[in-house]
Structure 1
């Protein structure tokens, strides 16, 4: 009697443990992410049991997705005698296949090589049509690219091509691209943002390659137009710089005292003056003699230093003479 009760209790305990795994109802998932090229029943349903590995359809292309609606799912369940019924006509599942994106750099590198073989410029930039969508390869493949066919108009620089990825793979996918090869030029730009008053140095500058059709005649193309100069207003990093966006730094400030010199073949005259204008090196500014109050024109030679080239007798009052 005791043995019979013990057996019964053990049987009930086993039933309790196994019930969720064995008799649980299949549940339709909302989303399935797969890597292979086959969709299995277990990808669609939880608790698919021994039917989880049944192949039911071909997977979408890498990086793509499909939607299986209630009608399609019901048809699948009937075909494989799977115990599932749609709760409503809106039941569905999104099946997405993971994929490895083909880098834009790989596409452009393959195209540039093929274009150069047909006479395109060595240092070109490629602009692809925006209509091309992203290309994916299976997760277990290399995202390499090869050009299968290329048509190139050397005069207009337009091209169209058929590419394959992965390269040299029997399962490679073909895709079409089109675009234009653009001539380029190297121009100096700032590594970091610069504000008005900053003095630009060689360390602040880097070279970037840009399309010539986007470079106007006023764009700075040599470092000589930048080094030692200062922005008139803030200049952003990496952007083409217009020549009128920089200027020599202000060496003489309006209202500040300056040392004014006047050279003759026989002597050098120096005097203090007050700048009536601000100016950079080689700019013409007005300077007032602090003693005679006479205003003369002078050329900026350095920080708070000017050289006067036109004086009258009154303007020379209060000068210091250095006879040679």
Structure 2
């Protein structure tokens, strides 16, 4: 009788297991059938990977998070065994795929370098220097990424500048609407800069330099060597001695004053004082440029006087001039 009871209990347990197994199998079979998305590389924007990022189905299915997404701009390769493990952890079906793997990429955009550079320069100028500066980062390939469709806000949390070497270190916070904060340490060197006049186009040898021919370019102070033109006044009424290239600094030796009076030409001389004003003509003994004092000979008396050049073939006799001969 006891043996009969034991056999009956074992049969009951076996039937229960078969029913449970059959029920699970039927439940699995009745679940939606998943298909792997055809794209070899799947772009996602979230910081999590969802089941629907990888699979699709003809029937509606309950979506869920299956793991963390790769870092911004990075890729994650999932092999067939990984995909099977993901599906096995859900009540869904997957018929499998001939493909060996699928790549998941996190979409991102690069913060423009001019925005980063301007933010750093502004912080250094406000906190450490009085001059205008420009900066170079140690990492020439610096890239700061944020989620593709997010708006970013950039601010400097801390800054340090060595006044002797120009070396700086700043902590920049990148905050995006995707709620992903990044604190990044940037290192580099700052350079003081000043505006310098340069040609805005090619100027040929012998060509008169006009104001419209000149633009301003900011250059590092250490690049400004002795003998380089630093003001517009040093260029006006000057002629290029040799061809000048657009955008390049101009040396003093590259230009010469424009000759408004040539040697041996007739010159109109003006003389003024409190009681009278006279004009006469003379012959230049030497060439002259604007504001230069030259010698002029009276063709009748043969006497030589000094006069300051005003314009083309025009000069004014100095009030304190003396007859030189």
- Tell me the TM-score range normalised by the shorter chain: 0.5 to 0.7
Structure 2 counterpart of 1:206: 215
CA gap 1:113/1:34 in 2 versus in 1, 3 angstroms: same
Partner of 2:264: 260
Q: How far 1:66 sits from its partner (Å)? A: 0.9
Q: How far apart, in 2, do the equivalents of 1:123 and 1:94 lie?
A: 45
Is 1:83–2:83 an aligned residue pair?
A: no
Q: May I ask how many residue pairs the two structures share in their alignment?
A: 247
| Contact 2:117–2:135 (CA under 8 A) maintained in structure 1 | yes
- Aligned partners of 1:224, 1:232: CA distance in 2, in Å? 19
Contact 2:160 2:168 in 1 (8 A): yes
Cα deviation code 1:208-237 (max 9, x no counterpart): 22211222223321123333423612512x
Please, which of 54, 57, 68 is the counterpart of residue 58 of structure 1? 68
Deviations 1:104-144 (A, max 9, x none): 33323432343245432331222222356211223454322
Alpha-carbon distance change, 147 to 261 in structure 1, aligned in 2, over 3 angstroms: closer
Check if 1:40 corresponds to 2:44.
no
Equivalent pair of 1:248/1:281 in contact (CA under 8 Å): yes
CA contact (8 A) 1:188 1:206 kept: yes
Matches within 5 A, 1:183-194: 183-194=192-203
Shift of 1:164: 0.5
| Unaligned runs of at least 5 residues, structure 1 | 1-21, 253-257, 271-278, 283-300, 306-324
Task: Report the CA distance between 1:178 and its aligned residue.
Answer: 0.5
Please give the alpha-carbon distance, in whole angstroms, between the structure 1 residues aligned to 2:61 and 2:140.
Answer: 42
> In 1, distance between residues paired with 2:179 and 2:187?
24
Give the unaligned 5+ runs of structure 2. Answer: 1-31, 268-279, 291-308, 314-325
1:133 aligns with 2:142: yes
Task: Provide the residue aligned with 1:5 in structure 2.
Answer: none
Q: Equivalent of 1:227, from 236, 243, 248?
A: 236
Q: 1:109 to 1:261 in 2, by over 3 A?
A: closer
What TM-score, normalized by structure 2, do the two folds share? 0.60
Q: What's the secondary structure of 1:114's corresponding residue?
A: helix
Secondary structure at the aligned position of 2:218 is classed as strand
CA distance in 2, matches of 1:53, 1:98: 24
Local SS of the residue matching 2:98: coil
CA–CA distance in structure 1, aligned partners of residues 52 and 215 of structure 2:
55
Sort the Cα spacing of 1:24 and 1:191 in 2 relative to 1 into closer, same or farther, 3 A: same
Aligned-pair Cα RMSD in Å: 4.1
- Quote the residue 2:102 is aligned against: 92
Rg larger for:
2
